Amino acid sequence: MAEDVLCEVQNCHFWKKGNLCSADQIYVVSRTGKKAETEQETDCQTFKPE
């Protein structure tokens, strides 16, 4: 687990106490398929519901 990867989505399978992400890797994509200019234009594809 990367100690510096934070997540506030408590209903994600990989969420751990302290808002830590326990996934071995994370995958983030652009919502538009183009270069993302803001965080709102991205989605975390690593999310898995608890």
Which residues have CB under 8 Å from 10's CB, separation 6+? none
Q: What does the pLDDT read at residue 12?
A: 95
Q: What does the pLDDT read at residue 2?
A: 57
Angstrom distance (rounded) from CA 47 to CA 14: 8
Instruction: Tell me if the pTM is above 0.75.
Output: no
pLDDT tens readout for residues 5-42: 899 999 999 999 999 999 999 999 999 888 999 989 99
